[in-house]
Chains A and B, each alone.
Chain A
């Protein structure tokens, strides 16, 4: 997995949500693809862990799930995160925008990689 640092212009995201601004401000925006790998998916406990992590950063954090229609969730809202219905194997795009965006995305990706400490 690589960190794709796009400042403004089109990111390399596949299936991105139509709601995401195409060009943006000077703030750094970091985008990264991750896959849900714990067997029960992004259920209540991992969703809480993710939100707790997201809340440690000032950046806006969003998760996108491709599909018809694509779904976007505010990474700081546990209700929205869980309504992504991100089961095991679901590909998600994490997008952070703000001064600490890069660190936020790295930490969140680590959380997914660690399978939320579940297995």
Chain B
């Protein structure tokens, strides 16, 4: 038995048998062939290529149908490689010239190119090595006749353990039998996270080296709610998690009945529950679960999904699509919050030494005004189509907020000159996720229309903990009294100035903190949509008066342990099945 902690990116619990995808491509045996066999090998190669093209077309159509053209276009480049005449000639020449089997020739030529890519200085180019590996793998699978490492035709339920998910692997899964994911690497915006949430199955990423610790056939518990994986659990753990599984199913059907009911306390205090999303089709699911709007639309996905910077029109289409799905409900669009992560660091010529304290988010936007303006123009254009609002991330000084507003003003003037219509008084908010902004919330409240507390970053910067670093992740805790007092002060500053304050970090969706946040006076909770019903249930089971007492008591504690213990007790009293 072994317990591994990672990042839960899609909630739920599952107990199942593991299938492990190798991080390394299949190892190809070299077989020397006689010159007479060469034409047979070349024929085999030709047939495998034809099947690979058919597979890829199918995959592209599937992905395009499900996620839209933009994402389907990822595969155009793969298709181009498969049809590249020079490449095909080189592989054939390898078979003939070296008298080797087709598998070996494919592998040799593709690895030669992979090596070339890896040597490139520009990260954007060297990253394409993944595409090369992906294509090589598809070609080899067709040559060997072992399609998609069993994942397309499963006979029983499994959980998939992988280093990371390639887009083609994720799309080829047999959805009816895959019950969960666990990966070595990845974060909230990784492909694994997005696919798992779309499929509604639990996933835990950032587990370090789980692929080398699990063998195919092992029993594994994936607990996406708690960000935990248990390898070969003992019978008690299995029983405990079976119970979780059953409770979850029962709770979900119960919670579904809450959808139409308001998020109102027993003494009549009404709050708003909203959803965090990454791409617009998620809105339908969010509304299903009772979201009253989108409190956080992360726009990074637009940049990550395409291999180019999105055009103004691409931004616009995504925002209009979101606004239309919401039918007048609020849509808070957060401007680009990239930087500090794998994507931008790999692209950068000189990776930053300390990216989380570096050129990220609003800082990056203010350093690239044309890119920033493109997004702002698109948001303003979309403001005609619904209740669209703008939110700037990572503001740390007043100057930044003023600069960002100035850029927005410039854009508005340009658009007015062009005769474009948009909402001039579009609500303009900021994220509070840096301690300096939290401490100066009173000043910021005079210049912003709303606040949204990004607890994930606020905790990381307040406690100096990177929660993706497994050696210190245990120190990451929303219940730390220092974090709580910052949150309390921000909510207070907002309510004194009459601006709305929401929490859009993960804390908002954790039932453990619902009573506390409610008692501190929070009026908008924005969370991943699966969490909405449970949070609503807690709100509907308590009174504002009780929540305020809880909050007062919590603020008198000096350790996170006390806070969590007390909150768990209090929440259990009103909703016994919450934990």
Contact B77 A47 (CB under 8 A): yes
B574 at interface by CB-CB < 8 Å: no
> Which of chain B's residues have a CB closer than 8 A to the CB of A48?
76-77, 80
Closest to B74 in A: A44
Contact A78 B125 (CB under 8 A): no
Interface residue tally of chain B, by bracket?
Answer: 20 to 34
Task: Name A79's contact: one of B113, B120, B124, B125 (CB within 8 Å).
Answer: B113
Interface code B121-137, partner A: CB below 8 Å = 1, 0 otherwise? 11011001001000000
B116 at interface by CB-CB < 8 Å: yes
Knowing that A43-B124, A74-B86 touch, tell me 18 more A-B residue pairs with CB under 8 angstroms.
A39-B309, A40-B124, A40-B308, A43-B308, A45-B77, A46-B308, A77-B84, A77-B85, A77-B86, A78-B80, A78-B84, A79-B86, A79-B87, A79-B113, A83-B113, A83-B117, A85-B125, A118-B311
Number of interface residues of A (CB under 8 A): 25
Interface code B94-127, partner A: CB below 8 Å = 1, 0 otherwise? 0000000000000000000100110011101100
Interface code B63-107, partner A: CB below 8 Å = 1, 0 otherwise? 000000000010011001100111100000000000000000000
> Which of chain A's residues have a CB closer than 8 A to the CB of B128?
43-44, 82
> Which of chain A's residues have a CB closer than 8 A to the CB of B77?
44-45, 47-48, 78
Question: DSSP majority for the B interface?
Answer: helix
Min CB gap B63→A, angstroms = 16
> Which of chain B's residues have a CB closer than 8 A to the CB of A118?
308-309, 311
Whole-angstrom CA separation of A83 from B113 in the bound complex: 8
B352 at interface by CB-CB < 8 Å: no
18 pairs of residues in contact across A and B, judged by CB atoms under 8 Å: A40-B124, A43-B128, A44-B77, A44-B128, A44-B307, A45-B76, A47-B77, A51-B80, A51-B84, A74-B86, A76-B85, A77-B86, A78-B77, A78-B84, A79-B113, A80-B84, A117-B311, A118-B309
A68 at interface by CB-CB < 8 Å: no
A119 at interface by CB-CB < 8 Å: yes
Closest to A76 in B: B85
Contact B86 A80 (CB under 8 A): yes
Closest to A115 in B: B308
> Which of chain B's residues have a CB closer than 8 A to the CB of A87?
122, 124-125
Binding site for B on A (CB under 8 A): 38-41, 43-48, 51, 74, 76-80, 82-83, 85, 87, 116-119
Contact A82 B309 (CB under 8 A): no
Task: Name B124's contact: one of A41, A83, A117, A119 (CB within 8 Å).
Answer: A41
Min CB gap B276→A, angstroms = 28
Min CB gap A93→B, angstroms = 19
Closest to A48 in B: B80
Whole-angstrom CA separation of A26 from B76 in the bound complex: 37
Min CB gap B307→A, angstroms = 5
Min CB gap B107→A, angstroms = 15
Min CB gap B346→A, angstroms = 13
User: Which 9 pairs across A and B sit closest by C-beta, in order of nearness?
Assistant: A77-B86, A44-B77, A78-B80, A48-B80, A85-B120, A79-B87, A44-B307, A85-B125, A77-B84
Whole-angstrom CA separation of A5 from B121 in the bound complex: 34
Closest to B347 in A: A40
